[in-house]
Structure 1
Amino acid sequence: MFACDDFVEVDPIGPNAGDFFNTEEEYEEALIGAYDLLQATFWNNLIAVAASDDFGAGGDAFNYDQPVVQNVNLMIHSPADEEQLRSIWQLMYGGLNRVNYLLENRDKLEFAGKEGIIAQGLFLRAYYTFELVKFFGNVPLKVEEKNGVNRIADSQISAVDQFSIERVSSISAVYGLIQEDLKEAIPSLSPTQDLPYKVTRGAAQALLGKAYLYDGKYSDAATVLNQVISSNQYGLTMGDDYTNMFTTAGENGIESVFEIQYTNIEGAGWDCLQCSEGSYFVQFNGPRSPFNDDVYATGWGFLLPSQALYDTYEANDIRRDVTILDLTDLKALEDNKVYSAPREDTGFYNQKYVPRKDDKSGNASTAELVHKNNYRAIRYADVLLMAAEAEAQSSGANAETYLNLVRARAYGDNSHDYSSSEGSLIEAIYEERRKELAGEGHRFFDLVRTGTAKSAFDAYNASKPTGFEDVIFKENKNEVFPIPLVELELAQATERWGQNPGYNN
Structure 2
Amino acid sequence: MKKYNIIKLLTATAAALFMTACSWVKEPAPGVTELEDYFVSGQACINNVTANYVPLVWEFQSTYYSEWFIGDVMSDDAIKGGQNVSDMSQAYELENFKSNADNEIAYDFYGAQYQGIARCNLSLTYIPDVACDSVMTQSVKDRLIGECYFLRAYYYFRLVRAFGGVPLTLQVENSDERWAMPRETTENVYKQIISDLTEAERLLWNKSEYASEDLGRATKGAAQAMLMKAYLYQGKYTEAEQWGAKFLLDQESEYSLTPNFADNFTLAGENNCESVFEFQYANESTSDYGTGNGSTRGTFTTILTRSRATNMGDEGWGFNKPTQNLYNEYEENDPRRDATIMSLQGEYASENDIYLGNSYLNRKSGMYNADGSGYTYKIAHASRGVLNNKQIRLADVLLMYAEACEENGNTIGAEDALERVRARARANAPEGAINPLPEYPNYTIKINGVEKTPTLKEAIRHERRMELAMEGHRWFDLCRWGVAVEVMNAYRETETPEARAEMSEMRPFQTLLPIPHKQILLNSALTQNPEY
Q: Say if 1:162 and 1:473 are closer, same or farther in 2 by CA, change over 3 A.
A: farther
Q: Say if 1:342 and 1:24 are closer, same or farther in 2 by CA, change over 3 A.
A: same
Task: Note the residue ranges of structure 1 that are not aligned, 5 or more in a row.
Answer: 1-11, 143-152
Secondary structure of residue in 1 paired with 2:110: helix
Partner residue, 1:102: 123
Question: Partner letter of residue 485 of structure 1?
Answer: H
Equivalenced residues, count: 462
Q: Say if 1:415 and 1:248 are closer, same or farther in 2 by CA, change over 3 A.
A: closer
- Give 1:117 shift: 0.7
Q: Is the 8 A contact 2:488 2:506 kept in 1?
A: no
- 1:149-186 alpha-carbon deviations (Å, 9 max, x no partner): xxxx2x12333222221111x21221111011011111
Q: Is the 8 A contact 2:399 2:464 kept in 1?
A: yes
Q: Say if 1:430 and 1:471 are closer, same or farther in 2 by CA, change over 3 A.
A: farther
Q: Say if 1:502 and 1:330 are closer, same or farther in 2 by CA, change over 3 A.
A: farther
Q: Is the 8 A contact 1:360 1:367 kept in 2?
A: no
Q: 1:301 aligns with which of 302, 308, 318?
A: 318
- Give 1:140 shift: 1.0
Q: Is the 8 A contact 1:387 1:402 kept in 2?
A: yes
What is the RMSD of the two structures over their aligned residues, measured on CA atoms? 2.2
Q: Distance in 2 between matches of 1:361 and 1:341?
A: 18
Q: Distance in 1 between matches of 2:177 and 2:463?
A: 44
Partner residue, 1:373: 387
**2:330 corresponds to 1:313:** yes
- 1:188-228 alpha-carbon deviations (Å, 9 max, x no partner): 11112221121110011001110000011111111111122
Question: Partner letter of residue 66 of structure 2?
Answer: W
Partner residue, 1:145: none
- Give 1:274 shift: 5.0
Q: Distance in 2 between matches of 1:324 and 1:355?
A: 9
Q: Is the 8 A contact 1:350 1:439 kept in 2?
A: yes
Q: Say if 1:90 and 1:13 are closer, same or farther in 2 by CA, change over 3 A.
A: closer
Question: Partner letter of residue 71 of structure 2?
Answer: A
Q: Distance in 2 between matches of 1:98 and 1:204?
A: 19
Question: Partner letter of residue 410 of structure 1?
Answer: A
Show the 5 A alignment for 1:34-433.
Answer: 34-40=52-58, 43-61=66-84, 64-82=86-104, 84-111=105-132, 112-113=138-139, 114-142=141-169, 153=170, 155-168=171-184, 170-192=185-207, 193-194=210-211, 195-230=214-249, 231-232=251-252, 233-239=254-260, 242-265=261-284, 267=286, 268-272=288-292, 275-289=295-309, 291-293=310-312, 297-329=314-346, 338-355=350-367, 361=378, 363=380, 366-368=381-383, 370-396=384-410, 397-412=412-427, 416-419=438-441, 422-433=453-464
Secondary structure of residue in 1 paired with 2:509: coil
Q: TM-score, normalised by structure 2?
A: 0.82
Q: Is the 8 A contact 1:323 1:351 kept in 2?
A: yes
Q: Is the 8 A contact 1:56 1:305 kept in 2?
A: yes
Q: Distance in 1 between matches of 2:415 and 2:223?
A: 25
- 1:305-327 alpha-carbon deviations (Å, 9 max, x no partner): 11111111123111001110111
- Give 1:343 shift: 2.7
Question: Partner letter of residue 390 of structure 1?
Answer: A
Q: Say if 1:288 and 1:99 are closer, same or farther in 2 by CA, change over 3 A.
A: same
Secondary structure of residue in 2 paired with 1:245: helix
Q: Is the 8 A contact 1:408 1:414 kept in 2?
A: no
Q: Distance in 1 between matches of 2:219 and 2:107?
A: 30
Q: Say if 1:256 and 1:18 are closer, same or farther in 2 by CA, change over 3 A.
A: same
Q: Distance in 2 between matches of 1:329 and 1:309?
A: 22
Q: TM-score, normalised by structure 1?
A: 0.87
Q: Say if 1:69 and 1:415 are closer, same or farther in 2 by CA, change over 3 A.
A: closer
Q: Distance in 2 between matches of 1:324 and 1:13?
A: 39
Partner residue, 2:488: 457
